[in-house]
Amino acid sequence: MRLVFAGTPEFAVPSLLAAAGRQEVVAVYTQPDRPAGRGRALTPSPVKRAAIERGIPVLQPESLRSQLARDALAALQPDLLVVVAYGLILPPKILAIPKFGCWNVHASLLPRWRGAAPVQRAIEAGDTQAGVCLMQMEAGLDTGPVLLSQPLDIFADETGGQLHDRLAALGAQVLADGLGLLRAGMRPVPRPQPVDGVTYAHKLDKAEAKLDWSQPATTLANKVRAFNPWPMAEAMVAGERLRIHAASALALGHAATPGTLLCVGRDGLDVACGQGALRIRTLQREGGKAITAADFLNARRDLQAS
């Protein structure tokens, strides 16, 4: 089969490798190089780097809405367009070009968590299960029928970064299964998504990283997990602005004002929340690196361990 692959971030790389394993990937679409790092130098996407390493031609249009963009895709004569976290809207005229249409690898069990940040939103909401869907794309946002799906349990202390990596690998596996069926002449049967249970995973915003101590401890613990490694939860604790890498919720009764430091020890810093307390286990001071609560207390002799 002649495949075209469209993707941009690290999440899409395992799927690109799966697509390139036994099919002919004739081209890769990815977003234009963006400024990154302290020097703000133009930096290629992870998918672009992976494609170049394998000698696959790369296209980086700013948009796919023009006739020129449609002609460029049509000239590739694709049997299938595989899309994984590409980041650009595919107009209906683009979706209609490949022989078998366009497939999307999406990191949730649709219709739950349609949208840009399904991995983080699942953890933030306290979900115990995530997964991957291989979807036949249509004009709506992640509304197309599901071809294949695979669930995945979320570990109790799993961070957004850890779940991201596991789902990226699972997405590659599900895509490989779908391509294997198509190559054998057994095209996966599309199943319409249920009407009930639709939720939207809105794009992450750095402003969300600031913890509100008036919220329940369980809510804040989920945010800490979800926002690691980005945008990373932060809060004022003991007079310092800290980035919080790891924390757990305590079912602790108290009458303290939310944000009050209740107790400190080598196991963590216990901060009063609207309900319960949040035990901060790993943190980062401004300009520093991630350290344990014990190391933080060694540097803050003014805090009495208990």
With beta carbons less than 8 A apart as the criterion, state whether 163 and 170 touch: no
299, two tokens: 């540097």
Class of residue 22 by CB neighbours under 10 A (exposed 0-12, middle 13-18, buried 19+): exposed
**Residues pairing with 240 in the sheet:** 237
Q: Is 211 annotated as a binding residue?
A: no
SS3 104: strand
**Residues pairing with 290 in the sheet:** 284
Q: How far apart are CA 91 and CA 75, in angstroms?
A: 17
Crossing angle, helix 13-22 and helix 46-53, to 10 degrees?
A: 30
With beta carbons less than 8 A apart as the criterion, state whether 242 and 283 touch: yes
Q: Is 108 annotated as a binding residue?
A: yes
Q: Which amino acid is at 133?
A: C
Q: Is 9 annotated as a binding residue?
A: no
SS3 278: strand
88, two tokens: 């650009």
For strand 233-237 and strand 240-250, is the pairing parallel, antiparallel, or unpaired? antiparallel
With beta carbons less than 8 A apart as the criterion, state whether 160 and 227 touch: yes
Closest CA relative to residue 89, chosen from 138, 56, 136, 27: 138
Specify the DSSP class assigned to residue 191.
B
Specify the DSSP class assigned to residue 257.
P
Q: Is 175 annotated as a binding residue?
A: no
Q: How far apart are CA 224 and CA 262, in angstroms?
A: 19
Annotated binding site: 108-111
Annotated binding site for (6S)-5,6,7,8-tetrahydrofolate: 108-111
